[in-house]
Chains A and B, each alone.
Chain A
Amino acid sequence: MGSKKLKAIVVYGTLPVELADPQEFKRLALAINKQNATSPSIATLRELGTPRVMNNNWPLGDIPVKNWSVGSYEEICTNLGGKKMRDTILVEHNACHFCSIGCSRWVNIRDGEYQMDAPGPEFETLGALGSLCLVDDLNAVSYAAHLCNIYGLDTITAGTSIAFAMECYEKGLISEQDTGGLALNWGDKNLVIELVRKIAFGEGFGRFLGLGTRRMAEILENGSLDFAVQTKGMEYPLHDPRAFFSWAATYATSPRGGCHLHGMSSIYENKDNPLPEWGLTGNYPRQTDAEKGKIARLAQNWSHILDSMVVCYFATFTLQPSDLAALINAATGFDLSTQDLLDFGDRINALYRAYNYRCGIRRADDTLPKRVLTPLAEGGTNGLVPNLESQLEEYYQVRDWEPDGKPSRRSLTELGLDFVVADLYP
């Protein structure tokens, strides 16, 4: 699409969607909306949006700082948090069509060099363009995010790439000769804004930054791949696997690389009976490895179902699979069970993996960079790191994958993917 200078395709229909049981569907939809409207786990999401995570998760060490090299600390997280936004630049909340959560925020900066009137940044954005770069000026980060939005840049990749370049500059792997005279100093908020512009326009050093962390590291060498925080070329969201160990298996195996939108696994840790319908009936302390491969699989499957139904991930804070099965059944007249949804998730994931395998992805690619497997002395992660190998052993077992990362013939057959068997096992 980019080569055709095409930014988006918008499609809409004019005919009504026929439902199998409209009354039941409406009853279920209203009940879910009411549940979301009254749930205590949603309340602060409505008030602060996703930037609430900045205010909330720093004691746990979940917020990466300075290109994931420093533990979370209160000052930078509160300066970038939802409460600061609410008290300074927030003008109104927005909601998606018919949503009772309304997590989106509109911000207005009337004075100074960062004037804007636009959607406010989300948590991941505040971390990537903020704490990763040691910038704690909410207005500047909001403005950098606004530029990313209008230029069509992913804020996580943009911010992580800038933070990576800052560390390379600090280590002498990048010089001012490379940057066109720019000093890539930590905490330089105007530099972050300038680099966003340069990435967007492919200008000077921005062309190199636009390659992303993996390709930059492959060019720079000298151990820089160790602190390029990505898997399969995709930069990480701002949740630290050292704080919630299940992120290790989730990031390592996610179909498109380090991604929290293919399995928001941390919400199933430290939670008594978190997903009982799919067998998560225990308590899973956040910094232990047992069961985390299993949690990664279920969280990924759950995400695949939500994506297929075009349901917001935040609905999972209150919903169980049976709620979605009931909605599908009312809409289609099917008679699906929660087990059916689990199987659908497995099938979708198997297709992702089969495609990746055919493109050359193997177990060696299911990995994490050395940086996030290095303990931090302070900042809520207790000096602990996940054991990726043990999690992958469990994950491969529950997915029934071959040692090299190929879905087994047996698993593909059981999922009804015979055409994939023919392709992967000629």
Chain B
Amino acid sequence: MIVYVRAFGIVQPVLGERRLAIEMPGGASIQEVLEILAARYYTDRKEEIWDAERQVFRIPVIVMTGGRDVFDYSGSMEDEQEIMLVAPMAGG
């Protein structure tokens, strides 16, 4: 199946502004998608963003899908489902 990823904030310079299309096995979880992202895409700034030992973000990132925050990353994704990775900002 294909899942889509959009990134905002600190993660965006690494993943780029494009909507990434990632091929995953059917029924893959959000956590598995996050791990694939870390393995394939975070490249030279991986240490800043991803804790490889704990398999979690080092920085505050909100994972959203369908316009809602996701707290449990173990749920299965569906074909063509999109997740957004948003690192909140404030000020101005």
Binding site for B on A (CB under 8 A): 40-41, 43-45, 50-53, 55-57, 59-60, 62, 122-126, 237-239, 244, 260, 264, 266-267, 269-272, 274, 285-287, 313-314, 378-380, 382
Contact = CB atoms under 8 A, between A and B. Distances in A.
A313 B89 CA distance: 12
B8 interface: yes
Q: Which 10 A-B pairs have the closest CB atoms?
A: A123-B92, A50-B92, A271-B60, A122-B92, A124-B92, A56-B9, A56-B8, A266-B90, A53-B89, A40-B10
B84 interface: yes
Interface in B32-54: 45, 48-49
B88 A382 contact: no
Most chain B CB inside 10 Å of its own CB: which residue of A53, A55, A60: A60
Interface residues of B, number: 24
B28 interface: no
Interface of B: 8-10, 12-13, 45, 48-49, 59-60, 62, 64, 67-69, 71, 84, 86-92
Contact of B67 (A266, A271, A378): A378
Given A287-B69, A378-B67, A382-B67, A260 B91 contact: yes
B48 to A, nearest CB: 5
A53 B48 CA distance: 21
Most B CB within 10 A of own CB, among A57, A59, A287: A59
Nearest to B68: A382
Contacts of B91: 50, 53, 123, 260, 264, 313-314
Contacts of A57: 8, 86, 88-89
A260 B59 CA distance: 22
B86 A59 contact: yes
Contacts of B86: 56-57, 59-60
Given A271-B60, A272-B60, A380-B67, A266 B13 contact: no
From B60, B69, B87, B91, residue with most partner A Cβ within 10 Å: B91
Given A44-B10, A382-B68, A266 B59 contact: no
B14 to A, nearest CB: 9
Contacts of B92: 50-51, 53, 122-126, 237-238
A55 to B, nearest CB: 7
13 contacts: A43-B13, A44-B89, A52-B9, A53-B90, A56-B8, A57-B89, A59-B64, A123-B92, A266-B90, A267-B90, A287-B69, A314-B91, A382-B67
A374 to B, nearest CB: 18
A314 B68 CA distance: 28
A40 B60 contact: no
A286 B10 contact: no
Given A40-B45, A60-B62, A264 B13 contact: no
Contacts of A382: 67-69
Given A60-B88, A287-B69, A55 B60 contact: no
B13 to A, nearest CB: 7
B18 to A, nearest CB: 14
A92 to B, nearest CB: 19
Contacts of A287: 69
Given A40-B10, A285-B69, A285-B71, A56 B89 contact: yes
B44 to A, nearest CB: 12
A120 to B, nearest CB: 11
Nearest to A121: B92
Contact of A52 (B49, B60, B89): B89
A122 B91 CA distance: 9
Contacts of B89: 44-45, 52-53, 56-57, 267
B69 A286 contact: yes
B64 A41 contact: no
A44 B62 contact: no
Contacts of B87: 41, 56
Contacts of A55: 8
Contacts of B8: 55-57, 59
Contacts of A274: 60
A270 B88 contact: yes
B56 to A, nearest CB: 8
A60 B67 CA distance: 8
Contact of A59 (B10, B48, B71, B84): B84
A270 B62 contact: yes
A266 B7 CA distance: 20
A271 B88 CA distance: 10
